[in-house]
Amino acid sequence: MSDRRRLIGPLNTIIPNIGISSNATEADVFKGPSSATRNEDGLRQFFLKTGIIENANGSAYLEVGGNIIQVSVFGPRPIRGSFVDRASFSVECKFLPYISQPNEQLYNNTTVNAGSTANTGPTNANANGRTGLTNIEQKISSYIETALLPSIVLEKYPKSTIDIFVTILSTESSNSGSTKVDAALLGISNWVLNCSSVALVDSGIELKDVVTSGVATLKNDKLLLDPEVISSGEDNENTLTCVVSFMNLRNDEIVGFWMEGDQSKFEESQVEQLIDGCNNMSRQVRANINSYFTSTLE
């Protein structure tokens, strides 16, 4: 925590005992999200923990369904050179290299080899060697940045930067799904945003409000909050999915909005319904985050 000028290696480094068996039983296999893990309010249970990365100013770890997200916040860090009267803010979101990204054939221009259906491994050519972000990662980064920007009191931190680094350790998406479904992308963006908000609170950076987010799907006039990834084979027509991020204590101002889905029967009333659904979910998530923080104070 003392050195804010540079990224140093983690303080709590553990050297793995390679080759020594820990007699561990086989790791639990994700059975995938099921309705059993849903609460009465219709949301899935999620696991949240803050302060896991010691040399970051704030960090958070979130598990929900098959998604595992880790966020670290660095800042306010001083910048050299020209004077700026407000902090600059940036978000970088990365998937671990072997994680398949939602709809990556479509957006990341990765080639699909139709001949080898057995190959379920990464389709990102040279995924381990890449340095930049893929189009999907850039898109999620932008969504988080746009949504969090209004909540941070940047004026308090002149000549500084605040950087958020998101690492997606696991997703519940599968590449076998239809390439036309962006629901997985919206779902992961939603949880990345909630996790980033918690990390920002943990960092102690001054905020106007804690941004929380909800995701909802409207299918045949049936509203589903926090939808799980639609399995392949299923009929995906007439499905609208929407992620909306709110500042719930500031008049439910919408700071992030992203809607995808079927076009044929698209009306304003449906958008209203979706925003209502997302707002409900956002409030639930907010209540959970609030109680998490009050419980950690004790």
Does residue 298 interact with another protein by CB under 8 A? Answer: no
> Shortest gap between Cβ of 6 and another protein (angstroms)?
23
> Shortest gap between Cβ of 131 and another protein (angstroms)?
8
CA–CA separation, 226 and 243 (whole Å): 9
Residue with tokens 């707002």: 279
Residue from 39, 142, 290, 291 binding another protein (CB under 8 A): 142
Restricting to residues 193-232, name those near another protein by CB under 8 A.
none
Restricting to residues 77-116, name those near another protein by CB under 8 A.
82, 84-86, 88, 105-107, 109, 112, 114
Question: Residue 49 or 86: which CB sits closer to another protein?
Answer: 86
Kindly indicate which of the ranges 7-15, 50-58, 70-78, 129-137 contains the residues binding another protein, using the contact rule CB under 8 A.
129-137
Restricting to residues 235-294, name those near another protein by CB under 8 A.
240, 246-247, 250-261, 263, 266, 268, 271-272, 275
Please report, as a single letter, which amino acid is at residue 204: G
Does residue 129 interact with another protein by CB under 8 A? Answer: no
> Shortest gap between Cβ of 4 and another protein (angstroms)?
22
CA–CA separation, 280 and 259 (whole Å): 17
Does residue 74 interact with another protein by CB under 8 A? Answer: no
Question: Residue 53 or 91: which CB sits closer to another protein?
Answer: 91
- Give me 114's structure tokens: 């139709």
> Shortest gap between Cβ of 196 and another protein (angstroms)?
16
Question: Residue 88 or 167: which CB sits closer to another protein?
Answer: 88
Q: Interior CA angle at 258 toward 214 and 59, to 5°? A: 55
Question: Residue 54 or 221: which CB sits closer to another protein?
Answer: 221
# of chain residues touching another protein (CB under 8 A): 51
Residue 47: name the closest of 225, 297, 288 by CA.
Answer: 288
How many CA atoms lie less than 13 Å away from 183 in the CB half-sphere?
27
Does residue 48 interact with another protein by CB under 8 A? Answer: no
Question: Residue 257 or 292: which CB sits closer to another protein?
Answer: 257
Question: Residue 55 or 100: which CB sits closer to another protein?
Answer: 100
User: How many C-beta atoms lie closer than 10 Å to residue 195's C-beta?
Assistant: 30
Restricting to residues 167-196, name those near another protein by CB under 8 A.
179-180, 182
Q: Contact positions toward another protein, by CB under 8 A?
A: 82, 84-86, 88, 105-107, 109, 112, 114, 132-136, 138-139, 141-143, 145-146, 149-150, 154-155, 179-180, 182, 240, 246-247, 250-261, 263, 266, 268, 271-272, 275
